[in-house]
Amino acid sequence: MRAAVMYSPGDIRLEDIPKPKLKPGHVMLKVAAVGVCGSDIPRMLIKGAHKMPIVCGHEFSGHITEIGEGVEGFSIGELMGVPPMLPCYACDQCLTGNFSRCRDYDYFGSRRDGAYTEFVAVPVGNLLRAPKGMDPRATAMIDPASIALHAIWKAPPTAGQRGAVIGCGPIGLFAIQWMKLMGCSEVVAIDVSEEKLAQAREAGAEHTFLVTDTIPADMKYDIIVEAAGHNSSINTAAKLAAPGGHVVFIGIPVADVTLENKTFQHFLRQEVSLHGAWNSFGAPYPGKQWTVTLDMLATSRLRWEFMITHELPWRNCPPCSIRSRTRPNSSRRSCSALNRSIGAFAWLISSVLILARAAFGLASSTSKIVECWERARSLMKRSIRVPAGRNNHRSTGGARWAGPPGH
């Protein structure tokens, strides 16, 4: 089968690799849709993964093509969502149901081969059955939507409270929707892109601000979700909190973070609670974060399709810096047999590489850095969803540029 294999940051090769062996307790999924997470970009271009070479991609759905020994209750052809973490089930955190904090976990796409390929063997404990007729793209978006829910459940709002979201990628856009569903009377959204703020308004935000705008001093919020992972957005999030408010941090910074004295004085004196939110899992695994999200997506109470940036078949992807090679002892297949998800990822990486290099080291002035950064951001669209069997190419707005390869 074909796969995008990362050997080192920036060295991603399209290769023939062996199809995974089907072990007892596993099913084989044919990848139906896979997203490019914000964490995939620095992982594949800057930071690297926990082991290499590796096939990345952890936001995915797939149809069952084979069922392993000992697996019951599943049928060929069923659509599955896949919680990407494989907990150890033995550490103190797992034993108390805090799977997101597992001390010895595995993870599709960063610690074991993921879904930028045609087939993935998945343990039965990582299967989440999608209702009949559910769109594979929506199923692949359970991961970012559940991350937003996991964060908001750190300090769930009550009816009439006000919420704010900084960073309007898919996680931020889902956070806006969750806040409204939980009864927030007002939600404000902040981002660097007017295009993404338009999406935030579509998600339900009443007020939107660019980061360069002046936010009125009297606008304070009961719960703030920070989903950008930038030094300035982290400080802004803490200063937006109302007395006794809560700030939940999802964004993963690349650089060091410095809290301004004004920020510290605000959350100290106003008794603001700061929360970290990591992953999206609860007990029993994968938790209500995933099962509730699945239901909300399946019943269209969570809107998702407006977040899609591109849907690309393989044949529409231009030649790029990803090299096509064949591993020893593997059978060759024509490029036309490659799953469409690989095509989308190849397009993304090839489009981003030059601009990313400019933004991170070759720009000669501040204005040029900003220009390169904005151009790179416009291409670093996190939510690339590629369903099998679709040939259309659509471009809408947004997603986020997030930090290092955490998983």
Domains and CATH numbers, the chain: 2-141+304-379 (3.90.180.10), 145-276 (3.40.50.720)
Tokens standing for residue 203: 């998600």
Count CB atoms within 10 A of the CB of residue 98: 17
Q: Cα-flanking dihedrals φ and ψ of residue 142, to 5°? A: -60, -40
Q: Report which of 347, 337, 338 is spatially closest to residue 312, judged by C-alpha positions.
A: 347
Angle, alpha carbons 168-170-175 (nearest 5°):
70
Core vs surface per residue 160-181: b (16+ CB within 10 A) or e: ebbbbbbbbbbbbbbbbbbbbe
Per-residue pLDDT of the chain (407 residues; tens, 9 = 90+): 999 999 999 898 888 999 999 999 999 999 999 988 888 888 888 889 999 999 999 999 999 999 999 999 999 999 999 999 999 999 999 999 999 999 999 999 999 999 999 999 999 999 999 999 999 999 999 999 999 999 999 999 999 999 999 999 999 999 999 999 999 999 999 999 999 999 999 999 999 999 999 999 999 999 999 999 999 999 999 999 999 999 999 999 888 999 999 999 999 999 999 999 999 999 999 999 999 999 999 999 999 999 998 886 543 333 233 443 434 443 333 222 333 444 444 444 433 333 333 233 333 233 333 333 344 444 443 333 333 333 332 222 333 323 334 67
Tokens standing for residue 266: 């605000």
Q: 55: which strand partners?
A: 5
